[in-house]
Amino acid sequence: MKNGICSKCNSKTVYTMRKGISFGTSSQFFVRISSEMFSKSLMEVDDYICTICGYFETYIEDRAKLKAVAKDWKKVG
């Protein structure tokens, strides 16, 4: 999606906006970084939406926070 091509339908009708999708009040998006129940960290997210099929993806660009997730979350596979 970041290259302007929808990863679902392959159309070139992808648009982006920082915090473009609202998740709760004040358009805040929370991702728990550590395994502690009440540990939350506000992150800036970049949203991508295909205007043909409606598929969307959200990316977190903060490398430090992504590193913290890799340290505490369980890896898939």
Domain ranges of the chain: 14-72
Supply φ then ψ for residue 26, to 5 degrees: 60, 20
pLDDT at 56 over 70: yes
d(CA 47, CA 58): 5
For the cut 70, the answer to whether the pLDDT of residue 43 exceeds it is: no
CA distance 57 to 69: 19
Q: Rounded distance, CA 68 to CA 32, Å?
A: 10
Strand partners, 60: 45
pTM beyond 0.85, yes or no: no
